[in-house]
Amino acid sequence: MKTTAMIIATLWSSMSLADNCVYDCPTGVSGEQIERSIYTLSNNANTKFADWVAYNVTSETIDGPSRSRYWKADPDIDSADTLEPGDYTDANAILSTDRGHQVPLASFSNTDDWAMLNYLSNITPQSSTLNQGPWVDLESAVRSMVSAGQDVYVVSGPLYEWTFGELPEADETHTIPSGYFKVVITDVNGWVEASAFIMEQSAARADDFCTTEVTVDEVESRSGLDIMPSLASYKESSVEGQLGGLTASLGCS
């Protein structure tokens, strides 16, 4: 039987696909896709984390009041396929991790549905130095672009390339990411630009996110995803195969 939240998510489906993803949502994995007003994600029942999240940051979604972090299991995902708040007990003390948002709370603080960002399907154990250093710096740079007048699409997700550790009190089998990707995209009347970044869990707090830029092609190769599956083939080489698409707009030299 579908819950009320599941029915609402379904009703948002057609709007979310247009609002959260640009050139369609990523393909290449077979997780459970959850579509919400402010983001879309694909949950991985094996790792217990989202393989990707997609969202659209606009001038209407940012600059709201400070929002609280009240963690909650995702009500639309079977409890066997996601984590609960208690699974994170002692994670910071033992692993030096934060509960890291894949879709950042600050980018949707001015929306009615901001609390959905605290569902644990949108959270991963992210090293504190990464989460509070280059990762948040990139998220802030995205919001600065939006404040300057440019709506931005983002696709973000985990990579599993080396063993990081396990949550000490989790009672479900899970796999903590070794790193993360973030692809930042703009589409102005069909003119598409993108910059992609990959950051490791071993990143230092003082690291410069600009030095972690890679091509979208590299993100796709390492994640197994097609980030923009309906992007015209004649645009792919310039958008996905090149560096520097949005680096100046993000404050990188």
Contact 139, 104 (CB under 8 A): yes
* CA distance linking residue 20 with residue 117, whole number of Å: 14
Q: Two tokens at 190? A: 């069909």
* CA distance linking residue 123 with residue 130, whole number of Å: 14
Distance from the first to the final alpha carbon of the chain: 53
Give residue for tokens 């410069």: 208
DSSP state of 226: B
Would you say how long the chain is, in residues?
253
For residue 50, give the H/E element and its range: strand 50-57
Contact 214, 184 (CB under 8 A): no
Residues with active-site annotation = 101
DSSP state of 89: T
Other CB atoms within 10 Å distance of the CB of residue 56: 22
Give residue for tokens 């949707």: 108
Other CB atoms within 10 Å distance of the CB of residue 45: 14
∠199-201-202 over CA atoms, to 5°?
100
* CA distance linking residue 184 with residue 135, whole number of Å: 13
